[in-house]
């Protein structure tokens, strides 16, 4: 619940991006980089990677973004 909600068009580097990958609850988070890209750890045992919000998998599951108070 912490942090300021950010519209997708206003996202900046360091914003947290949230996804619903398992049902209705938020189950995955990444850190927004720029140009639609975000860094995240896909799943246990896999390497940290950079993905794009425009990829069908992530676009369908995108739940929103928040800006941590230290970045506001």
The confidence score (pLDDT) of residue 71 equals 62
Asked if the model's pLDDT at residue 52 lies above 60, the reply is yes
**Region of poorest pLDDT, from 7-16, 22-31, 40-49:** 40-49
Give the C-alpha separation, 29 to 39, whole Å.
Answer: 9
The confidence score (pLDDT) of residue 16 equals 96
Tell me how far CA of residue 8 lies from CA of 30, 47, 48, in angstroms.
14, 26, 23
The confidence score (pLDDT) of residue 46 equals 84
How does residue 14 score in pLDDT terms, banded at 50, 70 and 90?
Answer: very high
> How many other C-beta atoms can be found within 10 angstroms of the C-beta atom of residue 58?
19
Average of per-residue pLDDT across 43-64: 93
């Amino acid at each position: 619940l912490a942090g300021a909600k950010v519209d997708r068009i206003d996202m900046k580097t360091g914003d947290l991006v949230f996804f619903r990958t398992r049902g209705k609850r938020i189950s995955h988070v990444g850190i927004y980089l720029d140009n639609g890209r975000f860094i995240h750890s896909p799943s246990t045992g896999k390497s940290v990677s950079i993905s794009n919000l425009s990829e069908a998998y992530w676009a369908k599951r995108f739940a929103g973004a928040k800006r941590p108070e230290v970045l506001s």
